Amino acid sequence: MATVAEATAAVTLPALTHEEIARYSRHLILPEVGMEGQQRLKAAKVLCVGTGGLGAPLLLYLAAAGVGTLGLVDFDTVDASNLHRQVIHSTPDVGRPKLDSAADKLQALNPGVKIVKHNTMLTSANAMEILKDYDIVADGTDNFQTRYLVNDASVLSGKPNVYASIFRFEGQASVFGAPDGPCYRCLYPEPPPPGLVPSCAEGGVLGILPGLLGVIQATEVIKLILSGNGEAKGESLVGRLLLVDALGMRFRELKLRKNPDCPVCGTHPTVTKLIDYDQFCGITPPAKETTQVASVQNGVPQIGPEELKRRQTAGQDVFVLDVREPHEYQIANIGGHLIPLNDLPKRLSELDREKNIVVHCKSGGRSQKASEFLQQQGFQHVENLAGGITAWSDKVDPSIPKY
Ligand SMILES: [Zn+2]
């Protein structure tokens, strides 16, 4: 008679076919993986939120390793500016849904893996329902709302959250939401004020960096699966924050403790169901595609690119102030006077208070801040170019390259 453990293993772990034994032979001869480990990988269900920079290497390696079910959450389409880092997508995929592009690559790499496509933005309304079919969540998102949402959903559903984030040349990784480990909120109880931390779209990112971090995530996911008893094979990143500095090529780590006062995983949690993460992060949800521009934001009048063009064509005296960085100006400019946002306070003397000033940046965020600052400094005639030089390229002059 089989022991209980053997019976359970026989019921829960799928057998490997001859093809699978051949495919995974280099895994199988590792005693730390072996037949049982590979069967655990085959049985595992991993949800990857985002199929971008982190998701690309993460998903490719999980598929290659034989993780049986991979759930993909994305609603975006492939853009040319994604390709320098999102290596799961190729040039012919530009314009395709990322889900389809990613699923094709994964299926070609390993036809034995089941790909589940969740064609949606992860939200408070759907996160618990989507997570319930998976064992592990891997967070490949690039914004704070979704990061807190993934964290809370992982803690509330008792599933580990393999986390990484990247910016410019630096990244961090950890495993949150393990039974005795801390969560993302233990580390960062509050999101930063909106606009304080620039996104990769604003601040840039070295293309290889998500590759480094995504592979670290994949490693942690696989170690969690191999153990099969709730603890990772070897030593996991539970309770540790790995800091990666690609420019200096240095890896450091910080010890993380579970915070007993954590609102979601502490002893007396106050967050017991998913909340409104846009509100929590202090941001207005992205407006539906519209040509209407809000006329005033935080006291700053907004104008669209067509209106700026109209005024220039009509010969009106408009002073265009560009608050981007000099290297961005070199990529593309519309002839504005360049004063980077951070230099503005010490270069106010270059501006004429009597003139109508239209401030622009890449997409309208930094120029909004600059406009608010100028108003505080007593400038009366300041307007923000909504959508920035990107909108100008879209709506007025397509010869201006978008970056
Ligand atoms: Zn916590």
Residue 172 Cα to ligand 1 midpoint, Å, equals 17
Listed residues: CB within 5 A of ion ligand 1: 183, 185-186, 262, 265
pLDDT tens per residue, range 307-359: 999 999 888 889 999 999 999 999 999 999 999 999 999 999 999 998 899 99
Contacts of 190 (CB under 8 A, 6+ apart): none
Please report the pLDDT score of residue 10 as a whole number: 45
Q: State how far the alpha carbon of 253 is from the alpha carbons of 167, 213, 240, 360, 391, in Å.
A: 17, 14, 6, 39, 41
CA atoms within 13 A on the CB side of 382: 25
Query: In 228-332, where does DSSP find H-type helix?
Result: 277-280, 305-313, 326-331
CATH 3.40.250.10 region(s) of the chain?
Answer: 293-395
Residue 163 Cα to ligand 1 midpoint, Å, equals 14
CATH topology of domain 4-280: Rossmann fold (3.40.50)
265 among known catalytic residues: no
Residue 266 Cα to ligand 1 midpoint, Å, equals 6
- Among 48, 265, 281, 361, the active-site one is 361
- Among 200, 262, 265, 281, the active-site one is 200
Q: State how far the alpha carbon of 49 is from the alpha carbons of 138, 198, 307, 346, in Å.
A: 6, 21, 39, 43
Please report the pLDDT score of residue 243 as a whole number: 98
Q: Among 168-177, 202-211, 278-287, name the most confident range.
A: 168-177
CATH 3.40.50.720 region(s) of the chain?
Answer: 4-280
pLDDT tens per residue, range 218-273: 999 999 999 876 566 889 999 999 999 999 999 999 999 999 999 999 999 999 99
pLDDT tens per residue, range 62-87: 999 999 999 999 999 999 999 999 99
361 among known catalytic residues: yes
Residue 120 Cα to ligand 1 midpoint, Å, equals 26
pTM: 0.79
Residue 259 Cα to ligand 1 midpoint, Å, equals 6
Residue in this structure with the two tokens 């170019």, named with its chain if needed: 385
Residue 40 Cα to ligand 1 midpoint, Å, equals 28
* Residue 150, phi then psi, degrees to nearest 5: -60, -45
CATH topology of domain 293-395: Oxidized Rhodanese; domain 1 (3.40.250)
Query: Distance between CA 299 and CA 296 in Å, rounded?
Result: 6
Is the distance from CB of 160 to CB of 224 less than 8 angstroms? yes
